[in-house]
């Protein structure tokens, strides 16, 4: 049975702020505002990535980049202890890659359900997939999120700016 996401901790907030900065960079580059940070079990930032869908292709999500990096640079034990912080909950593609590689916890600022609502508010086209909570896709996933308050409002504002009534 899927687990219920847990609330964020004070230790999560600096990494989620970093994700927001990466999402801002993605938006400034003309891409969708998503950013992710891979953190080792000692709290050290191991790798960062931002959305590059417009630069590369529709698979260039930051979580996929971090999964690829972890697969090439970390042992199975290190991957298990690592945490992926991200501005938005993993899509099913990213969640599957995360699960198959055996990465540890997922901490997200905004949920896929929230993103869908924001896109609807902005008049953006619907996604071509069905979003599911990551804990329904990854067996035994440790999940924290979504955020609240100012950080959540900042990512919402970035998403609305990207998709404002232009339909994109």
Any long-range contacts for 41-49 (C-beta under 8 Å, 24+ apart)? 41/78, 41/81, 41/82, 41/83, 41/104, 43/11, 45/15, 45/18, 46/70, 46/73, 46/74, 46/82, 47/73, 48/18, 48/22, 49/22
Reply yes or no on whether 136 is catalytic. no
Residue from 32, 63, 65, 89 carrying the catalytic annotation: 63
165/135 Cα distance (integer angstroms): 32
Dihedral angle over CA of 141, 61, 73, 18, nearest 10:
-80
Helix (H, G, I), strand (E, B) or coil at 49: strand
Q: Which residues are catalytic?
A: 63
């Amino acid at each position: 049975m899927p687990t219920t996401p847990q609330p964020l901790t004070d230790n999560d907030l600096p990494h989620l702020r970093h994700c927001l900065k990466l999402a801002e960079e993605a938006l400034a580059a003309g891409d969708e505002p998503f950013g992710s940070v891979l953190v080792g079990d000692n709290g050290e930032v191991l790798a960062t990535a931002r959305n590059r869908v417009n630069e590369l292709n529709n698979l260039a999500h930051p979580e996929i980049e971090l999964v690829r990096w972890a697969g090439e640079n970390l042992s199975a034990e290190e991957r298990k202890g690592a945490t992926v912080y991200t501005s938005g909950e993993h899509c099913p593609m990213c969640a599957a890659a995360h699960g198959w590689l055996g990465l540890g916890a997922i901490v997200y600022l905004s949920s896929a359900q929230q993103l869908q609502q924001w896109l609807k508010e902005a008049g953006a086209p619907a996604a071509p997939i069905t979003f599911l909570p990551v804990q329904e896709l990854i067996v035994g996933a440790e999940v924290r999120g979504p955020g609240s308050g100012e950080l959540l409002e900042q990512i919402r504002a970035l998403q609305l700016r990207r998709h404002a009534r232009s339909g994109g």
